[in-house]
Structure 1
Amino acid sequence: MKSETLPAPPPSAEHDWVEGELVRSLMRTQRSTQWLALLLVAIVVGILSDDNEPERLAAWVVVWGAVAVWRLWVIHQYRTKVMAQPTEAHLAFFRRNRWVWPVSALVWGLTTELYFDRSPLGDQYICWLIMAGLAMFSINSLSARIGVMRAYLDILAGTALAVMAWRMLVELQLQGPVYHWWVGLLLLIFWQVLRHAGERLHETLRRNFELQYRNMQLIESLTRQTQAALDAVEIKNRFLASAAHDIRQPVHALGLYADWLRGEPELVNELAPKIVAATKAVNHLFDSLFDLARLDSGKIRLNVEAVDLGKLLRNLELQYRPLCEAKGLAFRVHLCPGTVRSDPILLQRIVGNLISNAVKYTQKGGVLVASRCTAAGLRIEIWDTGVGIPAAYQREIFREFYKVPGHTGTEEGFGLGLYIVARLTHILGHPLTLQSRMGRGTVFRLLLQPTDPREAGERAVSTMAHLFPEREETTGP
């Protein structure tokens, strides 16, 4: 079995997964940042308490507290309602609450009004260090979402620069000390450096998540390929076990009959029918295996055309009536004339397998093959008065090499007929149903919906993809 790589997943799936992981990465850091912010507020209040009116400082603390409560509420909502949800919920939650971080940056930027040119240089220096630390910490905690990080840095630096400009240009009317200009220039440079560093960090995070996603896809692909290989080995093992057991008897019988006939040629009339029966059994096995090989190779050639249903069923009658009569069974055909678009060879194979099963598992009574005109279209029905199929096995009988335990007649079969029927009816688009009563018989109903050649080809390819998911069919959709 040729091993090939799977087609690449849709780009949108990878993009959405990566975006969701970036949101998760950002939210994982938020609880710790709140405790750090609380510590920094305490330091700022302690430093500036002697340099400002209590009302101004209290007003800033109240505003910061309101924003902190908002952020804590966002974190709580995420942890209790969103964390365990799929990616779409994370992205929607983030879109609704993304402004909490820029507003927080605005509040911190307004602290410049409390200390710039209003406090001793030592106090200003400490406050500027706190601002710088906040900015640097933000590129670590917010770089997972590049838009939020940029907005945070831009608003933090922009607010501080606006406060400085108001103080220098309006209140001091350019009469302040020269170091004000140097502080403003350093702030501009620091702002752009942090912005660039944050963008680089974001790209690193994104590439890491993209690599993680592709590794997951690769692992999943390898897992599917491994499972497909194990399934193939299991199928081959079941085939070898079943075929070795089933073919041994007719081949052994052929050898015995040949030796017997060589020693006693006068028994030719008695032994010839037995030799023919054993030969037919071997041929039936090989016919089934060839059908299975064509199905599993995906090389089914479809020839969809108008099929005369009456002619098809009459041909099958010529083939199966002698088998019924040899077993003492009645064989009846009821025809509703009409044509259907299908593949005549595959359709005849389907109906032939169903009739063969009916004959095999019927010991008395008979078999009825009927075509009926219904509101849904033409339908073929195969009725028998055989042993019936227990309800517990009515799905299992369509598996390859499956035989109903203790079912009279299974010792002569190979468990491939109904498996091939199920595969072919799926490809042609002819729904198959069955009803059965133990000891009373079984009826299979085949609805002959018109076969679309393109859709049938796609179903043949999709069937192969389901059986062997590691294959990439170049002729597929």
Structure 2
Amino acid sequence: MNASPTIRPPQSVADFSREEWVEMRLIHTFMRYARPALHSALVLLVVMVAILYRHVDPLALGLWATATAVVTLSRYGVISIYQRNLVGVSGPPLRAFMARYGWTWPASAMAWGASMFIYFLKAPIYDQFLCMVVLVGMAGFAVGTFSSWLPCFRSYVNGLGISVVIALLYELVKEGGLPSTFNTYGMLALVVIYWAVIRVSGQRFHEVQRVNLELQYDNSTLIKSLTEQSRAALEAVEIKNRFIASAAHDLRQPVHALDLYAGWLAAEPEFVEQITPKIVRSTKAVNDLFNSLFDLAGLEADPLRVNPQEVDLAVLLQDLEAQYAPFARERSLRLRVRGATGQIRSDPVLLQRLVGNLLSNALRNTHRGGVLMAVRRRRGVPCIEIWDTGVGIAKEHQQAIFQEFYRIPLQGTEEGFGLGLAIVSRLSEALGHPIGLASRAGRGSVFWVELRG
């Protein structure tokens, strides 16, 4: 059985540079027209043999027809290789294919041009005329079918022109002088002029095709850019709407509580000791929300200025432990730190903010047990890991938690405003430190930061 052609997924304009895409399309256009051209060549070969077999040397005609058929069939083989392995391919493999098999086109052209040795000044004038019309038609046909790929077009036309000119020069030498009728000289002049015209026509047709393809590429790129901008604008509107709705929801409760506590305090000042802590908690909730919003707005409005330098991992983890240990004690959690010696290159301030947000998120969503912060290697890359024994994150939520205002709709994850991990995502992109996550609902989570660079 014949092997079925290799099927490759379609490649979009975005996968290539402008020149690569245009070159790929030109070669594929060239190969698309190659097989119909061969069908025509086989038919013309039969026609020429039928015209000449009674009027020229049968042996010479047979040798020429055999050689021409072999070259034509070899071009069928080349096209089969292309269709089996290279449809949809671009770049070096496609150029290598054309460089390896491009010789079959000039070889075929020279074989056809060599027919002049068989019939010129040997067959009846009417038969000569018909055979020359075939050669003229093949040269003109090449402008529309082969000019997509200029190297093959030029070599094909040159092969045809050179072989015809050699045949005419051979007849001039054989005649041994100036023919009385000037027929051969006139024929030679016409061939050279037509040869030049075909080359110029092919060049211009090729340029037209190239310009059209470049316009297609530019239009596709522009459409893709506009589509992405429209999508980004719609996403921005969606984020803004979510921002307004979420901020209003998150602010309503603590502000309403402040109003109630203030009214209570004004009506019954003797309860100041009981009311004051409640006012402090409500005020802290409002402040925390505004601080998170300002942090996120600052990251989006003003691109982060990263100041990479050597960061001591042991010092970084000690600072984070000192900062979050009181919060862990307040929640009756155990915060453990397993440091590591060594240094990495990063921005110490931004890296501390990134890991601090992960640590704060872990402590907020853990109600029993504790949190572990450690430095370990994953696939040879040092990573800061944050392990917790909290409520965990189901798989369907693990991508969405890095979006603004996204909170998992489960009991035990209501604290916070859904902004901490969004800030982590922004910091991760700015620093070039990818973040990872593994979690199971009800079993806890681990976040890690890859310290590349």
Out of 52, 55, 60, the residue aligned to residue 56 of structure 1 is 60
Q: Which secondary structure does the structure 2 equivalent of 1:402 belong to?
A: coil
Out of 211, 216, 239, the residue aligned to residue 212 of structure 1 is 216
Is the Cα–Cα contact under 8 Å of residues 369 and 380 in structure 1 kept in the other structure?
no
Residue 146 of structure 1 corresponds to: 150
Out of 237, 253, 256, the residue aligned to residue 252 of structure 1 is 256
Residue 411 of structure 1 corresponds to: 414
- Superposed, 1:1-400 pairs within 5 Å as 13-175=17-179, 177-304=181-308, 320=324, 323-327=327-331, 329-330=332-333, 342-365=346-369, 367=370, 385-390=389-394, 393-400=397-404
Normalised by the size of structure 2, how large is the TM-score?
Answer: 0.83
Deviation at 1:139, TM superposition (A): 1.4
One-letter amino acid of the structure 1 residue matched with residue 173 of structure 2: L
Deviation at 1:427, TM superposition (A): 3.6
Determine the C-alpha separation between the residues in 2 that align with 1:185 and 1:42.
29
RMSD: 3.5
One-letter amino acid of the structure 2 residue matched with residue 228 of structure 1: A
Instruction: Name structure 1 gaps, 5 residues minimum.
Output: 1-8, 453-477
One-letter amino acid of the structure 1 residue matched with residue 423 of structure 2: I
Q: Which moved more, 1:152-161 or 1:233-242?
A: 233-242
Deviation at 1:200, TM superposition (A): 0.9
Is the Cα–Cα contact under 8 Å of residues 310 and 346 in structure 2 kept in the other structure?
yes
Normalised by the size of structure 1, how large is the TM-score?
Answer: 0.79
Determine the C-alpha separation between the residues in 2 that align with 1:99 and 1:307.
61
Determine the C-alpha separation between the residues in 2 that align with 1:153 and 1:54.
28
Out of 394, 400, 406, the residue aligned to residue 402 of structure 1 is 406
Q: Which moved more, 1:268-277 or 1:367-376?
A: 367-376
One-letter amino acid of the structure 1 residue matched with residue 86 of structure 2: V
Q: Which moved more, 1:163-172 or 1:430-439?
A: 430-439
Determine the C-alpha separation between the residues in 2 that align with 1:378 and 1:174.
89
Listed one character per residue, the Cα deviations across residues 184-234 of structure 1 (whole Å, up to 9, x for unaligned) are: 111111111111111111111111112212222222222222222222223
1:421 and 2:420 matched:
no
Determine the C-alpha separation between the residues in 2 that align with 1:185 and 1:372.
84
Deviation at 1:388, TM superposition (A): 4.0
Determine the C-alpha separation between the residues in 2 that align with 1:148 and 1:165.
25
Is the Cα–Cα contact under 8 Å of residues 385 and 442 in structure 1 kept in the other structure?
yes
Indicate how the Cα distance of structure 1 residues 101 and 227 shifts in structure 2: closer, same or farther if over 3 A, else same. Answer: same
Deviation at 1:309, TM superposition (A): 7.1
Percentage of identical aligned residues: 43
Q: Which moved more, 1:390-399 or 1:276-285?
A: 390-399
Residue 4 of structure 2 corresponds to: none
Listed one character per residue, the Cα deviations across residues 64-90 of structure 1 (whole Å, up to 9, x for unaligned) are: 211221122222222233224445443
Deviation at 1:143, TM superposition (A): 0.8
Listed one character per residue, the Cα deviations across residues 290-338 of structure 1 (whole Å, up to 9, x for unaligned) are: 11122223422345566677877777667655555554x1565668697
Q: Which moved more, 1:356-365 or 1:14-23?
A: 356-365
Indicate how the Cα distance of structure 1 residues 348 and 153 shifts in structure 2: closer, same or farther if over 3 A, else same. Answer: closer
Instruction: Name structure 2 gaps, 5 residues minimum.
Output: 1-12
Deviation at 1:137, TM superposition (A): 0.9
Is the Cα–Cα contact under 8 Å of residues 102 and 148 in structure 1 kept in the other structure?
yes
One-letter amino acid of the structure 2 residue matched with residue 166 of structure 1: Y
Deviation at 1:431, TM superposition (A): 6.2
